[in-house]
Chains A and B, each alone.
Chain A
Amino acid sequence: MNDHVNPVEPYLRMERMPHIWCPGCGIGVVVNCFVRAIEKSGIDRDKIAVVSGIGCTGRIAGYVKMDSFHTTHGRPIPFATGLKVARPDLSVVVLSGEGDLISIGGNHFIHGARRNSDIKVFCVNNFTYAMTGGQVGPTAPIHSIATTAPYGSYDKPFNLPFLADSSGAVYVARWTTYHVRQLTRSMTEALTKPGFCFLEIVAPCPTIYSRRNRLGDGLDAMRFYKKASKVVNGANTRMVGLELKGPIIVGKFVDRDRPTLLEAMNNEFIPKLGKKYTPYPTGVKR
């Protein structure tokens, strides 16, 4: 029976379907969770702006029927910071891949977190630069095979929750695309929490990462996530690094509060400037 419309469709640019993602790719799952999180959050979808960078995950921006920006490689976070500064009333969500956000975008990532720029950063981690054919990335576990690491990678990868935590992110969580309900809940929490909220979403790349590293297909990856994941809410982020075929610690690790970029600015200027300064709108409801 095809007479009931998939509830995700009103959020998608259906004229651009089918999308480019491979069979078993986790990015479509992330979109499902994102759409449901928007609904659960109660935020008007027309007050949400999606910003992405370059890569497979970056293509999300082009498929969601919302104000969306597909920017340059590595730079969605500063773009989002600028957008939020100009329009503090909007919810600004960055959806991009780990290569984009952490390698070329690494500097912007740590500064965005440091400043507590009020943006939500949902980082899909598939351990590879999939769009360009599977080069090694900053989160590839040691011994990963990639096109630019044909004998196996040897650089220690970043532990993303630790990086986010130590840079000052106020919300840090990791889930895999197996954990659809928890992921949706975390996205909802991040959407409604002021400050730099970071989600790492471990997802399969069946065509490239899984295949090249003999990890099976998308379904094999999802079964692996189910088996290897351990939910440890509040875990010490130092301890949640990932290894090839190793355990995956998931959960909500950090949930704290501090002034956002604009709130901190106001806090500094109000006492110093008095009447000469009109507090800048921050868009934050506390």
Chain B
Amino acid sequence: MPTADPMGVLSGVHFLDGDQACCEGALAAGCRAAFGYPITPSTAVVERISLRLPLVGGVFVQMEDEIASSIAIQGAAWGGSKVMTVSSGPGMSLMMEHVGLAAMTETPCVFVNVQRGGPSTGLPTLPAQADMMQARWGSHGDYEIIAICPNSPQECFDLTIMAFNLAERYRVPVMFMMDEAVGHMTEKVVIPKADQIEVEYRQLPEGPREDYLPYRPGKNMVPPMAPVGEGYRFHVTGLTHDERGYPAMDAGAQAELVKRLVDKIRLQAEDICQVEEHQLEDAEVIIVAYGITSRVVLRTLQMAREKGLKLGVFRPVVVWPFPEARLRQLAGNKQVRALVVPELNLGQISLEVERIVAGEARTVLVPHAGGALHDPREILRVVEEVLG
């Protein structure tokens, strides 16, 4: 697999916040075109991008709004660039139509959401995790995306690279779901040498131009993506289309196309999912947590184990597609009595957990309307209640 272009890799040991690390991750991944609009608490990402991209041969344009940003990236993606845009709550909501466009046209791109309190203007400077369902269902129609939840500035660097690689591999919009806590937290970030960083690029077509069909699936159920301006003369449309890329507006074409867009992710979820597990072997209660909350619960885990409680932590790193198979397996263990789901919202991923667990064990939500983090002792209390 090819490795990163050293020009974009700021190798060394740094002290960065999550927003800054995300920018460096994008550059390391090969992003050379970004379009964005300021919105707290994501602005630092594009501010750093505007500083850094010109020094590595890229271009950043601050567009007039999020709607323009979310489609300008797609123009640049079709121009061959690896691309990213960045926003938060109100801006993400504006971008939703274009998340759907990217899914429908299979345009590789990364959308960073530094989640903040909502709904509406909400709490611009404070954390929340209440956009998780929006990440998956926010646009209209049936489609699937990939969503990743980092929990540290280091991960904001590493997992941004993963986001770009997945976007290119599956030709899908990838939602990079940070939150204000992770975005504004400053920690040590180690950036390796460029030759240690693997980067992926979309599959290009092989064979004669006349035989190329822009939407005929290839490896991984993904069509090779022709470069613009090389005589392929392809057509891309957001309308339901056939393998030629031409509008084909009937139920048959719909079934064929939309099912593949969805299956592309659902049937290959095993290859996409990434989880972190802590002390699950003998766990009677499993905490399911993601993003910043997955760090909070490590303290809960420590306190619980000190008390002799058999607690474990299951952390989806890739939240969509959700690690269904693994969770079902864990919930199926006779010893597991409950899954406790703390999240900075009033119940989103907990619904997914409940659905997957299907009554094999209890699902207990530990909600938080956002604006601050859970107190780990609050979560411990719930665990103790469950254990009786």
Touching chains A and B, CB distance < 8 Å: yes
Q: Is the CB of A85 within 8 A of B59?
A: yes
Kindly list chain B residues whose C-beta atoms are within 8 Å of the C-beta of A70.
235-239, 247
Which A residues from 30 to 86 make CB contacts under 8 A with B?
A: 46-47, 49, 51, 61-62, 65-72, 75, 78-86
- Chain B contributes a number of interface residues (CB within 8 A of A) equal to 42
A51 touching B55 in the complex, CB below 8 Å, given contacts A67-B228, A108-B64, A261-B61 = no
Which A residues from 95 to 136 make CB contacts under 8 A with B?
A: 107-108, 111, 115
Q: Given the complex of chains A and B, what is the CA–CA distance between A100 and B233 in angstroms? A: 24
- Chain A contributes a number of interface residues (CB within 8 A of B) equal to 42
Stretch at the interface among B19-27, B75-83, B364-372: B75-83
Give A257-272 as 1s and 0s: 1 = Cβ < 8 Å from B's Cβ atoms: 0000110010001000
Nearest chain B residue, comparing its CB with the CB of A45? B233
Q: Given the complex of chains A and B, what is the CA–CA distance between A89 and B72 in angstroms? A: 17
Determine whether A2 belongs to the interface, using a CB cutoff of 8 Å to chain B.
no
Kindly list chain A residues whose C-beta atoms are within 8 Å of the C-beta of B67.
75, 78, 108
Q: Given the complex of chains A and B, what is the CA–CA distance between A56 and B246 in angstroms? A: 16
Kindly list chain B residues whose C-beta atoms are within 8 Å of the C-beta of A280.
54, 57, 59
Nearest chain B residue, comparing its CB with the CB of A87? B79
Determine whether B294 belongs to the interface, using a CB cutoff of 8 Å to chain A.
no
Partner of A82, one of B35, B97, B230, B235: B35
Kindly list chain B residues whose C-beta atoms are within 8 Å of the C-beta of A90.
79, 228-229
Determine whether A6 belongs to the interface, using a CB cutoff of 8 Å to chain B.
no
Nearest CB on A from B110, distance (A): 14
Determine whether A16 belongs to the interface, using a CB cutoff of 8 Å to chain B.
yes
Give A6-20 as 1s and 0s: 1 = Cβ < 8 Å from B's Cβ atoms: 000000010010000
Determine whether B98 belongs to the interface, using a CB cutoff of 8 Å to chain A.
yes
Give B161-197 as 1s and 0s: 1 = Cβ < 8 Å from A's Cβ atoms: 0000000000000000000000000000000000000
Q: Given the complex of chains A and B, what is the CA–CA distance between A84 and B228 in angstroms? A: 11
Nearest CB on B from A145, distance (A): 30
Q: Given the complex of chains A and B, what is the CA–CA distance between A107 and B342 in angstroms? A: 41
A67 touching B232 in the complex, CB below 8 Å, given contacts A83-B75, A83-B76 = yes
Partner of A79, one of B71, B233, B234, B246: B71
A61 touching B74 in the complex, CB below 8 Å, given contacts A49-B229, A72-B101, A108-B64 = no
Q: Given the complex of chains A and B, what is the CA–CA distance between A82 and B69 in angstroms? A: 9
Q: Is the CB of B237 within 8 A of A85?
A: no
Nearest CB on A from B63, distance (A): 6
Determine whether B218 belongs to the interface, using a CB cutoff of 8 Å to chain A.
no
Q: Is the CB of B76 within 8 A of A61?
A: no
Q: Is the CB of A277 within 8 A of B76?
A: no
Determine whether A273 belongs to the interface, using a CB cutoff of 8 Å to chain B.
yes
Which B residues from 40 to 80 make CB contacts under 8 A with A?
A: 54-55, 57, 59, 61, 63-65, 67-69, 71-80
Partner of A72, one of B35, B83, B97: B97
Determine whether B231 belongs to the interface, using a CB cutoff of 8 Å to chain A.
yes
Partner of B235, one of A68, A86, A87, A265: A68
Nearest CB on B from A153, distance (A): 26
Q: Which of A46, A273, A276 has the most CB of B within 10 A?
A: A46
Nearest chain A residue, comparing its CB with the CB of B53? A280
Q: Is the CB of B33 within 8 A of A67?
A: no
A85 touching B54 in the complex, CB below 8 Å, given contacts A49-B229, A75-B68, A75-B71 = no
Nearest CB on A from B353, distance (A): 34
17 A-B pairs with CB atoms under 8 Å apart are A49-B229, A61-B235, A61-B237, A67-B228, A68-B234, A78-B63, A79-B74, A81-B61, A81-B63, A82-B35, A83-B75, A85-B59, A85-B76, A86-B75, A90-B79, A90-B228, A280-B54
Given contacts A78-B63, A82-B77, A86-B76, 8 further A-B contacts (CB under 8 A): A70-B239, A72-B238, A81-B72, A86-B77, A87-B229, A107-B68, A265-B59, A276-B55
